[in-house]
Amino acid sequence: MTALGIIIGVGAVIAMVGIGNGAKAQVEAQIASLGQNVILIFSGSTTSSGIRTGWGGAGTLKIEDAEAIRREVPGVIGVSEEVVSTTQVAAGNQNWFTRIYGESADYFDIRQWPLADGAPFTSQDVRSANKVCVIGRTTATQIYGNENPIGQILRIKEVPFTITGVLTPKGLSTQGVDQDDIVIMPYTSAMKRVIGGTTLRNINVQIADPRQLEAAQQQIISLLRQRHNIRPGRDDDFTVRNQQEIAQAATATTAVMTILLGSIAGVSLVVGGIGIMNIMLVSVTERTREIGVRMAVGARGNDILTQFLIEAVTLSSVGGVIGIVCGIGASKVLSAYANWPTLISISSVAIAFLFSAAVGIFFGFYPARKAAALDPIEALRYE
């Protein structure tokens, strides 16, 4: 009962920080799933009759731009031209509305997205615009159920594509999009046979060394400005983002969340500490006679001070330990039922425990000093 404030405080700290760290780890994992050292170049927007399209709307990126990047920017180890559409796909008597991604053969390396089964399409497939594709887990289950889709024919806009592989599941993206609801095919095939058009929505570029990322980004910008004949002082007709920028923004958000949750929990720790102080003050009053007896038989002020401090710290530490157990339990329950990822780190447990002990010392000091300063005669006479 006494230590309840501390239990709630420490438990809340553990659970909150656990949730915060879990969210952060999840975001980081998703950012990493974009690929390492990746630069994304989006086609610019265009304004037509005052209506501005979003990124990729203008179709300013050409296949030749991607080839120029592949050829001229040092440190580039992979380039994937990307076109995106959504359409109805069908096989047998099943059909499904899904996203179509046209990519180069480098895409699977750039995104670090291996196949669960089968083989990816090859550069040869891209050159010849072959009617082959790989599909995500969701699409596979929706159309083929438990059947093995590899080697089957998938009709996309009435064009028959042969499925060469199934991707490993990636789960939901940060925006909550099912990343496994997808069909990926050579961008050449997508442009010629499914989507049409001659321009790319974006280009994914992978750089070998993270230290080259900034330089490569600048080179890509100047290369594209040159290729697109943009005079100095005019805006780019494309947008370049690197994955680190996206990651920083996302982790900053979750860090703010963790701090916020942590400080709420911190407030309850302080409240718990005041509870401890209150109980210790009551205890000092109740045990005034005992303090007097101890002093009469030779306890010094420091002995009494130490005794009450130890009691306060024990109280808050026991509360802290119970709180840690409760907090871990609450995190597990949240993970299990609310499907929130939580991550309990050793450091957060250690900090919570030390903090609860510190609360004991801090809030126990005043009552303990009060006890130590008692006059032995008064204390002995106390009823």
Partner 1 sequence: MNNGTIVSLIDVHKTYRTGEMEVPAVRGVSIEIKCGEFVALMGASGSGKSTLMNILGCLDRPTTGHYILDGADVSGLDRDHLADIRNRKIGFVFQNFNLLPRTSARENVELPLVYGVQRLTNAELRERADRVLASVGLAGREDHYPSQLSGGQQQRVAIARALVNQPEVLLADEPTGNLDSKTSVEIMAIFQQLNESGITVVMVTHEPDIAAYAKRNVMMRDGVILDDHLVSQRSNAATQLKTMTGSNASVV
| Three-state helix/strand/coil letters over 223-268 | HHHHHCCCCCCCCCCEEEEEHHHHHHHHHHHHHHHHHHHHHHHHHH
In whole angstroms, give the CA distance from residue 31 to residue 29.
Answer: 5
Closer to partner 1 by Cβ: residue 158 or 383: 383
Give 176 or 298: the residue with its C-beta nearer to partner 1: 298
Of 296 and 354, which has the nearer Cβ to partner 1? 296
Q: What is the DSSP string of 274-326?
A: HHHHHHHHHHHHHTHHHHHHHHHTT--HHHHHHHHHHHHHHHHHHHHHHHHHH
Q: What is the DSSP letter of 42?
A: E
Are the CB atoms for 107 and 139 separated by under 8 Å? no
| Alpha-carbon gap, residue 280 to 315, rounded angstroms | 10
Report the nearest approach of partner 1 to the CB of residue 375 (Å). 8
Q: Which is nearer to partner 1, 220 or 305 (CB)?
A: 305
> CB-wise, 185 or 372, nearer to partner 1?
372
Query: By CB neighbour count within 10 A (0-12 exposed, 13-18 middle, 19+ buried), where does 298 fall?
Result: exposed
Report the distance separating Cα 217 and Cα 207, nearest Å.
Answer: 10
Considering the complex, state which of residue 71 and residue 300 has its C-beta at the smaller distance from partner 1.
300
Count CA atoms closer than 13 A to 367's CA, side-chain side: 29
Least Å distance between CB 377 and partner 1? Answer: 5
Choice between 183 and 284, CB closer to partner 1: 284
In the complex, minimum distance from the CB of residue 357 to partner 1, in angstroms, rounded to a whole number: 24
Pairing of strands 94-103, 182-186: parallel
Give me the least distance between CB of 307 and partner 1, in Å please: 10
* Cα 151–Cα 154–Cα 159 angle in degrees, nearest 5: 120
Shortest Å distance, C-beta 376 to partner 1: 5
Closest approach of Cβ 293 to partner 1, in Å? 5
Residue linked to tokens 């009551």: 282
- Smallest distance from the beta carbon of 300 to partner 1, in angstroms? 4
- The distance in angstroms from the start CA to the end CA of the chain is 26
Residues at the site binding partner 1, with contacts judged by CB under 8 A:
289-290, 292-303, 376-377, 380
Q: Which is nearer to partner 1, 159 or 373 (CB)?
A: 373
Name the one residue in this structure whose structure tokens are 């974006």. 202
